[in-house]
């Protein structure tokens, strides 16, 4: 039974159907002319965070950051709608259906709609957020054209079926508890990384670059799996889409059959391995592999840093090195110069960096290791929590799981 029929079966007589525009005062973001750089990234404290689809791909339920900013003058000149804190935003072009709730006033580009609630007594904001996460976007157009076919008029006409407001709040509360724990773990990990980077800076930031990344470890691009090998289940293969900065999403993997493991044996990864995106818009983003009982392989154009049989012993130094702004800039800059950004393993290994004496390196790694053990442990818990939330979502939204007797 499909998603819509489940809704009709369980809520058809109790719920009410609305157009999204009846529930939300929908507004679309804007982009100033790219040929006028004075509106972008001025560095002023008054600049607005300006969210793109790429930024939505890197957040969880909430967002308060972006890779670019727009000046206050630019916002006023081009009349870019301000998204108020607490509002849902949703992508509806190119990559359709990415959602977040903004934590502060900010702006978005024209591929993102803001959905401020008109009447909170009719629809619960968090319920609507989770409802849209499960929305069957293919009903708005063919799957081949969905990325370009959706427009703001279609967004406004989207059907939303709502149960009683109390039921909405109960469902949202259950799912929000899981997301809140995920957010807490992310905050803890950010703090742990800041501690590690502070330790690194105190010891190495003022030293001259006397070597390159290849002096510390080798880097290789992942295995070139044949297109005919891809399967609907089996052994997970980490692809570029799996890599968010500082976070590896194992729910965004592809699969091959188990008989392909030996062919890609050099590209099995384990907890503490470090991976980097070598192609495309996400070039230079890197993440460590969390604990996992599954066999994990690495696809081509995902670079693997070879750190030994127990990679976490060498992980802290190289991770903190890549976190240095000048090193990260080198990674991104060396990948430019063509329509598709691309960096080779050779280029990465030849990026200059500090290489301290072995005894100093060993002492730093030993001191920072406990921080990284905690980070990858929290990452594993978040993977499990995300899987739990994603399993609960359709069951709660369809009414398969009855929440009527739950007290909030």
Q: In what order do the strands lie in the sheet with 268-269?
A: 230-231, 254-256, 235-238, 296-298, 268-269
- Pair of tokens at residue 191: 């703090």
- Token match 């980097």: residue? 276
Which CATH number describes the domain made up of 182-379?
A: 3.90.220.20
The pLDDT value given to residue 124: 97
What are the φ and ψ backbone dihedral angles of 279, each rounded to 5 degrees? -145, 150
- The pLDDT tens digits for 89-106 are 999 987 889 999 999 999
Class at the top of the CATH hierarchy for domain 3-163: alpha beta
The pLDDT value given to residue 338: 64
HEC string of 99-157? EEEECCCEEECCCEEEECECCCCCCCHHHHHHHHHCCCHHHHCCCCCHHHHCCHHHHHC
- The pLDDT tens digits for 278-325 are 998 778 889 999 888 889 999 999 999 999 999 999 999 999 999 999
- Pair of tokens at residue 114: 């803001």
The pLDDT value given to residue 146: 52
Cβ neighbours of residue 88 closer than 8 Å, sequence gap 6 or more? 24, 99, 100, 101, 114, 115, 116, 117, 125, 128, 129, 132
The pLDDT value given to residue 9: 46
Q: Can you give the length of the chain in residues?
A: 408
- The pLDDT tens digits for 132-145 are 998 888 777 644 45
Pairwise CA distance, residues 118 & 382, whole Å: 33
| pLDDT by 10-residue block (mean), the chain, 408 residues | 44 69 96 94 91 88 92 96 97 90 96 97 96 84 56 90 93 95 94 97 92 96 93 93 83 90 90 92 87 91 94 96 93 76 93 95 96 93 91 88 81
Domain boundaries along the sequence of the chain: 3-163, 182-379
Model pTM above 0.85: no
């Amino acid at each position: 039974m499909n998603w819509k029929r489940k809704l009709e079966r369980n809520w058809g007589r109790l719920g009410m159907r609305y157009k999204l525009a009846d529930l939300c005062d929908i507004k679309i973001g804007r982009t100033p002319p790219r040929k006028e750089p004075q509106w972008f990234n001025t560095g002023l404290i008054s600049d607005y965070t300006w969210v793109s689809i790429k930024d939505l791909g890197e957040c969880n339920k909430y967002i308060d950051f972006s890779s670019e900013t727009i000046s206050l003058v630019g916002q006023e000149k081009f009349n870019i709608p301000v998204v108020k804190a607490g509002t849902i935003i949703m992508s509806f072009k190119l990559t359709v259906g990415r959602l977040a709730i903004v934590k502060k006033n900010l702006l978005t580009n024209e591929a993102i709609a803001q959905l401020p609630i008109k009447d909170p007594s009719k629809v619960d904001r968090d319920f609507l957020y989770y409802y849209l996460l499960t929305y069957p976007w293919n009903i708005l157009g063919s799957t081949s054209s969905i990325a370009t076919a959706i427009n703001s008029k279609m967004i406004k006409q989207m059907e939303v079926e709502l149960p009683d407001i109390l039921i909405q709040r109960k469902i949202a509360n259950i799912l929000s508890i899981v997301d809140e724990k995920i957010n807490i773990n992310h905050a803890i990990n950010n703090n742990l990384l800041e501690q590690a980077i502070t330790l690194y800076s105190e010891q190495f930031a003022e030293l001259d670059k006397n070597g390159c990344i290849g002096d510390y470890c080798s880097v290789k691009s992942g295995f070139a799996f044949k297109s005919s090998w891809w399967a609907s289940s089996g052994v997970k293969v980490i692809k570029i889409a799996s890599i968010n900065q500082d976070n590896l999403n194992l729910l965004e993997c592809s699969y091959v059959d188990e008989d392909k493991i030996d062919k890609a044996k050099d590209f099995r990864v384990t907890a503490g391995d470090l991976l980097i995106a070598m192609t495309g818009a996400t070039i230079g983003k890197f993440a460590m592999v969390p604990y996992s009982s599954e066999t994990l392989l690495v696809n081509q154009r995902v670079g693997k840093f070879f750190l030994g049989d127990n990679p976490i012993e060498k992980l802290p130094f190289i991770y903190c090195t890549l976190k240095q702004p000048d090193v990260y800039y080198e990674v991104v800059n060396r990948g430019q110069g063509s329509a598709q950004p691309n960096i080779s393993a050779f280029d990465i290994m030849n990026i200059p960096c500090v290489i301290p004496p072995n005894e100093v390196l060993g002492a730093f790694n030993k001191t920072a290791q406990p921080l990284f053990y905690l980070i990858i442990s929290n990452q594993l818990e978040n993977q499990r929590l995300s899987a739990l939330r994603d399993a609960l979502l359709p069951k709660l939204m369809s009414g398969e799981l009855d929440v009527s007797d739950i007290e909030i």
